[in-house]
Amino acid sequence: MAEIVNLNHVRKAKQREEDKRRARERRVKWGRIKADRERERLLEAKAEKIHEGHRREKPKDERED
C-alpha cells in the first residue's frame, strides 16, 4: 500500500528549501565586506576605462573639434 503524504508538509518543505536557496544566493551577492565591494567597483571602473580607451573614435560630446 502507498504511503500517506500530507501535502501541506510537502508544500512547506519545498518552500523552506526554496527560501534557503534564495538566502544562499543573496549572501553571495550582498554578504560581502565593504573592502570587497570597493575592490570590485574599482576593477569594474578600470575595465570600463580600458574598454573606452580602445574606441576608434571618441563620442561626439568628448571630441575636440
pTM (2 d.p.): 0.46
Other C-beta atoms lying within 10 Å of the C-beta of residue 63: 8
* SS (HEC) of 1-64: CCCCCCHHHHHHHHHHHHHHHHHHHHHHHHCCCHHHHHHHHHHHHHHHHHHHHCCCCCCHHHCC
In a domain? residue 46: yes
* Model confidence pLDDT, tens digit, residues 6-59: 999 999 999 999 999 999 999 888 888 889 889 999 999 999 999 988 887 766
In a domain? residue 26: yes
In the chain, the number of structural domains is 1
Give the domain range for residue 16: 7-52
In a domain? residue 62: no
Nearest-5° angle of CA 23, CA 6, CA 25? 10
